[in-house]
Chains A and B, each alone.
Chain A
Amino acid sequence: MIELPPGLILIVGAFLLPFFHGNVRNIYMLLLPIFGIWGLLTVSNGVYFPFEIFGYNLSPVRIDRLSLLFGYIFHIAAIISLIYAFHLKDTVQQMAGLIYAGAAIGGAFAGDLITLFIYWEITAIASVFLIWSSRTEASFKAGMRYLIIQVGSGVLLLAGAIIHFHKTGSIAFDKMNLSGLGPILIFVAFGIKAAFPLLHNWLVDAYPEATVTGTVFLSAFTTKLAIYALARGFPGTEMLIWIGATMTAFPIFYAVIENNLRRVLTYSLNNQLGFMVVGIGIGTELSINGTAAHAFSHILYKAVLFMSMGAVLYRTGTIKGSELGGLYKTMPYTTGFCIVGAASASAFPLFSGFISKSLIVTAAAVEGHWFVWGVLLFASASVFYHSGIKIPYFAFFQHDSGKRPQEAPKNMLAAMGIAAFLCIAIGVYPYWLYDILPYNVDYKPYTTTHVVTQLQLLFFSALAFGWLMRTGLYPPELKSTNLDFDWSYRVFIPKILNIVANSIKIINASLESVIHKILAFVNANLSKHHGRSGILARTSSLGGSVTMIISVLAVLIIIFYFET
């Protein structure tokens, strides 16, 4: 049985946070997700707390293997992110983080589209505070753009859900076919949150602007909730294979030339989402398993990477590749954890990425999508290139920047340690993860072919990096701004809008004076009849009232008399 909807304990608990202080608060925060995951360990599959409102049958909690897997990893991510944020004294960020995590968990268990929509919007609103908490002009603007896009995605979801309901009579959140307006709107809503190509700009726009700790939260929940939603709603939709393949390939180029290392990680995050989307698109048991497993391990290693970069930012105040280097001398643990995360991201054998990503790549091969398979291989190689080598190399090694920051705070190290440990643990003993996947797995990651192929891929990629660095062909990390698709709506559209706005202003001014005149006229007339001494509000004499009543009667009777 289950006493509370999962995730709710975090949301409700967040509101009690201001009553605790210091270490008690830290322990209290940590207890919430621990209780939450404890509750998940004992539940059985099924739908809980169903009720009906306005004729919609809602099922706020639906538990099955797919939702449970995401439930587990969201809880683990919440625990890690919370430990990482222990040193904060910022109540707003802590509450936002808890509510955000709770809403993402709740969303993963939503059994109907309305509940999903509610949690969908809570994640959007709660998470924007993690961006705004940087308290810079840039973060405010980025947060605003982020909020508009996220809430917009929620609105699309709601619109789609209502249309879907009226067409099918069911509001349940199950597999849908991509036909008709309803499912298409829902699909686009999911696509925005999952950062599909050309819908992805909010991701690279907002995540690097969030606080050191906020980015860790952000990297875990929003996009993965969208992945879950896609896996639940649109498995086997072929279009997703091509969308996913594009997603794996095109952020790479941005990642290679980007100087802000947190932004590099965000591009890499986008690229990893591509793998998961491909897995959903293929839609076989193996590939859905791959998507779920990859989401699981991805959350962990991306957290390690964001945490280590966060620690660097926290200690040095900058995250530009061109200003860093040589930090391994004073931040050895952070360096070590970062390398573990990088190795997992690059899918080194014995690390978590290897055992999850290979499920998807194999699924593509099994289904005969050879072109996609090739793209995935190319993308895998390049992940190693920008996540695996570039991040640790530019931050911790490279030429010595002369910076000698302290090692990261203990709570950060602990959080990174836990996440890094899990990365290795899953990589070494994958069956622990395989056992909780949505479908039963009969897959052996450690075959000679797999390992050798992967190692070849990695070594050639490393070779390319080495060669480019040696020959000086590697694009130097310059302080530059890279134009992405979002230039169109951040610069171009505003310019056009400005011109339009100016012309509207002129028309408006003339219209306004006309309307003012009309309003004044209406108001004068309204108050003449409806005002306090107007005819409609006056208490006329008794005789007058009775006369009126009699005349109403007379009119009625005359009408009735002559009508029949």
Chain B
Amino acid sequence: MFEFLTPHQAILIVVIPLLASPICLIVRHSGIAWLIALVASWISFAIAINLLNQVTTVGPISYLLGNWPAPWGIEYKVDTLSAFVLLFISGISSITLIFARKSVYFEIAEDRIYLFYTMFLLAFAGLLGITITGDAFNLFVFLEISSLSSYVLISLGSSRNALTAAYRYLILGTVGATFYVIGVGLLYQMTGTLNIADLADRMPELSDTKTVLISLGFITVGIGLKLGLFPLHVWLPNAYAYAPSVVTAFLAATATKVAVYVLLRVYFTIFGYQIFNKLVIDELLLVLGLIAVISMSIVAIFQTNIKKLLAYSSVAQVGYMVIGISAVTVTGLTSTILHLFNHALIKGGLFLALAAIFLRIKSVKIDDMAGLGKLMPFTMAAFLMSGLSLIGVPLTVGFISKWYLILATLEKGWWPVAIIVLIGSLLSIVYVWKVIEIAYFRPVPDKSSKIKEAPLSMLIPIWILVTANYYFGIATDYTISSALSAAKELMGVAL
């Protein structure tokens, strides 16, 4: 029935949530808005699955907006990497939205709920747009769409701190976006084009000019801010901690991942991996990544607010991804791309479980979680199992990406790096175990004896993610082959 739409998939995946967003605004009804968001997200998810299948069988897809030919008009481009990222963004969003209904009712005033879904869809459309576009300036537009809507989403948090956290993110995020656009502007000045493929074509002859190198500096800092690269992560812990629970889960699982995606695009597609031979940028990333892994894990250990704990852990996890990039090898990139996907599953599961806990105990403080293992057995079991995946226990996705990361470091002969990565895993045992110990081994305090298990509409999405953590940890073919071919595309190795 919808065959005539198939050639337009690449635009529909973005346009559907983008158009659904104002519809939510018009209906002004919380339930219907939720339904619209849910349907839009699932349609995008279906398209994403279809796109990845198509890319792996037929090859990259190019879609010309308004049929304007490529360097002049805006081009949407889907290759293995972008299809893979689209897949898990839309997947996480679809699962989070099932979960969102009850959680949002609980955390946000009812007359604002339709606004929440409006903004959620905008942020979602923005993230998809960043991923799919083949135009460096269009990317900036989508970056701003997703950023501005996520500032609003964060400010909807129930505590007053949410406003300051959102404001801080607004300022810093805007600085980041500005840096990015300055970088792109410098590139435009040198090349006269904004199309990513076109930029890549012209880059080899220009890559020695100072202007181009300085543009790389601006873009690195700008995107580094967005992805929470240590030490540019300062906005992240508070934003995650005070945002509504669903927003935290969604942003933690997708927003930083998309930023890593942009970094990969800029470094490997536009500039090409040869740039790492000229600049010390890989060493810089390696050092920052290593500091992030160790230092942020230790900070996480000291936290008593579990949302903040997980937020710092996310910064540490970004460190793993950056280390993967800094190897500049196919294995290294494979580990980074795998970890994008795997970390989305892990943190999605953890933050959703935490959201369910917040619904019941109205707190995310570690001391209030005493005895939750008995009171909310299914939720805590999900937290525990996702936590094991975060640590990287075999048979979980966390193990797979760490395994590849260690392979990549050993390939380069970086023994000390491999050891530091392992120490990072040990530290993550400490902060995960901290929660587990309180929840399972502390007696149930009297005041919380009436706490019930989370509702089924929350448990099902949580457990879908937990199951995915183990399914993709065992049946690794699909993710590894996608990540590997994406990494080969980036490194320009023949498939």
Q: Are B302 and A560 in contact (CB-based, < 8 A)? A: no
Query: Of A53, A530, A531, A563, which is within 8 A of B280 by CB?
Result: A563
Residues of chain A within 8 A of B210, CB atoms compared: 561, 564
Chain A residues whose CB sits within 8 angstroms of the CB of B214 once the complex forms? 557, 560-561
Q: How many Å lie between the Cα of A354 and that of B295 in the bound state? A: 73
A468 contacts B by Cβ under 8 Å: no
- Partner of B474 from A53, A545, A556, A561 at Cβ < 8 Å: A53
Near B by CB (< 8 A), chain A positions 519-564 give 526-527, 530-532, 534, 536-537, 539-540, 542, 545-546, 548-549, 552-553, 556-557, 559-561, 563-564
CA distance A546 to B225 in the complex (A): 11
Instruction: State how many residues of chain B have any CB contact under 8 Å with chain A.
Output: 39
Answer whether residue B140 sits at the interface, using C-beta atoms and an 8 A cutoff. Answer: no
- In contact, B179 and A532 (Cβ under 8 angstroms): no
Contact present for A531 and B302 (CB under 8 Å)? yes
Are A526 and B298 CB-contacts (below 8 A) given A552-B231, A560-B213? yes
Q: A537 contacts which chain B residues (CB < 8 A)?
A: 237, 299, 302-303, 312
Q: Which residues on the A side are within 8 Å of B218 (C-beta)? A: 553, 557
Question: Is the Cβ of B302 less than 8 Å from the Cβ of A530?
Answer: yes
Chain A residues 35-50 with CB under 8 Å of chain B are none
CA distance A553 to B231 in the complex (A): 11
Among B179, B298, B301, B474, the residue within 8 A (CB) of A553 is B179
Cβ–Cβ contact B217 & A564, under 8 A: no
Among B120-128, B167-175, B340-348, the stretch in contact with A = B167-175
Pick from A540, A559, A561: contact of B234, CB under 8 Å: A540
User: Could you say which residues of chain A place their CB within 8 Å of the CB of B302?
Assistant: 526-527, 530-532, 534, 537
Tell me which of A53, A534, A556, A563 contacts B221 (CB under 8 A): A556
The yes or no answer to B238 lying at the interface (CB within 8 A) is: yes
Q: How far is the CA of A168 from the CA of B123 in the complex (A)?
A: 52
Q: Is B284 close to A, CB under 8 A?
A: yes
Do A542 and B217 form a contact, CB below 8 Å, given A53-B474, A564-B278? Answer: no
Tell me whether A530 and B295 are in contact (CB under 8 A): yes
Mostly, the B contact residues are helix
> How many residues of chain A are within 8 Å of chain B by beta carbon?
26
Q: Which of B367-399 contact A (CB under 8 A)?
A: none
Check B295 against A545 for contact (C-beta < 8 Å). no
CB-contact partner of A564 in B224, B231, B279, B299, under 8 A:
B279
B231 touches A539 (CB 8 A): no
B401 within 8 A of partner (CB): no
Cβ distance A52 to chain B, nearest Cβ, rounded Å: 8
Residue in A539, A549, A560 whose beta carbon sits within 8 Å of that of B279 in the complex: A560
Q: How far is the CB of A523 from chain B (nearest CB, A)?
A: 10
Write the chain A residue with the least CB distance to B278.
A564
Query: What per-residue 1/0 map shows which CB atoms of B244-284 lie under 8 Å from chain A?
Result: 00000000000000000000000000000000001111001
A546 near B474: Cβ-Cβ < 8 Å? no
A contact residues around B74 at 8 Å (CB)? none
Let me know if A530 and B235 touch, CB within 8 A. Answer: no
Q: Return the contact of A546 from the options B171, B280, B301 (Cβ within 8 A).
A: B171
The residue on B at minimum CB distance from A556 is B217
Q: Which residue of A lies closest to B295 (CB)?
A: A536
CB contacts under 8 Å to A, within B280-314, are 280-281, 284, 295-296, 298-299, 301-304, 312
Of all chain A residues, the one with the shortest Cβ separation from B213 is A560
Max chain A Cβ within 10 angstroms of own Cβ: one of B231, B234, B237: B234
- What B residues does A527 contact at CB under 8 A? 302
Asked if A545 and B234 sit within 8 Å, CB to CB, the answer is yes
Which has the most chain B C-beta neighbours within 10 Å: A53, A545, A553, A563? A553
Would you give the shortest CB distance from B164 to chain A, in whole angstroms? 9
Chain B 448-479: CB-based contact to A (< 8 A → 1; otherwise 0): 00000000000000000000000000101000
Contact B284 A556 (CB under 8 A): yes
A439 to B234, CA, bound (A): 73
B177-213 contacts to A (CB < 8 Å): 179, 208, 210, 213
Contact across chains for B304 and A549 when beta carbons are under 8 A apart? no
B208 pairs with A564, CB closer than 8 A: yes
Q: With A564-B278, A564-B279 in contact, do A539 and B234 touch (Cβ < 8 Å)? A: yes
Please determine whether A546 and B172 come into contact, CB atoms closer than 8 angstroms: yes
Q: How far is the CB of A282 from chain B (nearest CB, A)?
A: 42
Question: Which residues of B sit under 8 angstroms from A539, Cβ to Cβ?
Answer: 168, 234, 237-238
Q: Roughly how many angstroms separate A54 CA and B220 CA in the complex, as a whole number?
A: 35
Does B216 count as interface, using CB distance less than 8 angstroms? Answer: yes
How near does chain B come to A453, taking the closest CB pair, in angstroms? 57
Task: Give Cα distance in the complex from A561 to B210, angstroms.
Answer: 6
Name A545's contact: one of B224, B235, B279 (CB within 8 Å).
B235
Tell me whether B171 and A542 are in contact (CB under 8 A). Answer: yes
Q: Which residues of A contact B295 (CB under 8 A)?
A: 530, 536
Residue of A nearest to B208 (CB): A564
In the complex with contacts A532-B303, A532-B304, A545-B168, A556-B220 CB distance below 8 A: yes
Write out the residue numbers on chain A whose beta carbons fall within 8 Å of the beta carbon of B224. 552
Tell me whether B175 and A557 are in contact (CB under 8 A).
no
A531 to B208, CA, bound (A): 44
B38 shortest CB reach to chain A, Å: 35
B364 at the interface (CB under 8 A from A): no
Which chain A residues border B418 with CB–CB below 8 Å? none
**In the complex, B232 has a CB within 8 A of chain A:** yes
Task: Collect the chain B residues with CB atoms within 8 Å of residue A548's CB.
Answer: 231-232, 234
Which residues on B sit within 8 Å (CB–CB) of A54?
476
With contacts A553-B218, A560-B217, A561-B213 taken as known, whether A534 is within 8 angstroms of B168 at the C-beta atoms is no
- Assess A546 versus B221: contact at CB under 8 Å? Given A534-B299, A539-B238, A563-B279: no
CB of A562, distance to nearest CB on chain B (Å): 10
Cβ–Cβ contact A530 & B217, under 8 A:
no
Please, which residues of chain A bring their CB within 8 A of the CB of B231? 548, 552
Residues of chain B within 8 A (CB-CB) of A526 are: 298, 302
> Which residues of the partner chain A approach B312 to less than 8 Å between Cβ atoms?
537
Shortest Cβ distance from residue B420 to the other chain A in the assembled complex, whole angstroms: 16
Contact A557 B237 (CB under 8 A): no
Q: Name B176's closest neighbour in chain A (CB-CB).
A: A549
For B298, the chain A residues whose CB sits under 8 A away are: 526, 530
CA distance A507 to B296 in the complex (A): 36
Which chain B positions have C-beta within 8 A of A532? 302-304
Cβ-defined partner of B216 (8 Å) among A536, A540, A549, A560: A560
Q: How far is the CA of A553 from the CA of B299 in the complex (A)?
A: 25
Give the chain B neighbours of A564 by CB distance below 8 A. Answer: 208, 210, 213, 278-279
- Known pairs A532-B302, A553-B217 / 10 extra A-B pairs, C-beta < 8 Å: A534-B299, A534-B302, A536-B295, A536-B299, A539-B238, A545-B234, A549-B172, A552-B231, A563-B278, A563-B279
**Chain A positions near chain B (C-beta within 8 angstroms):** 53-54, 526-527, 530-532, 534, 536-537, 539-540, 542, 545-546, 548-549, 552-553, 556-557, 559-561, 563-564
A-B contact pairs, 21 of them (CB 8 A): A53-B474, A526-B298, A526-B302, A527-B302, A530-B301, A532-B302, A536-B299, A539-B168, A540-B234, A542-B168, A542-B172, A545-B234, A548-B231, A548-B232, A549-B225, A553-B179, A553-B217, A556-B220, A556-B284, A563-B278, A563-B280
Residue positions of B touching A, CB distance < 8 A: 168, 171-172, 175-176, 179, 208, 210, 213-214, 216-218, 220-221, 224-225, 231-232, 234-235, 237-238, 278-281, 284, 295-296, 298-299, 301-304, 312, 474, 476
Task: In the A-B complex, list the 9 residue pairs whose CB atoms are closest, starting with the nearest.
Answer: A556-B217, A530-B298, A557-B217, A560-B213, A553-B221, A537-B299, A530-B299, A531-B302, A545-B234
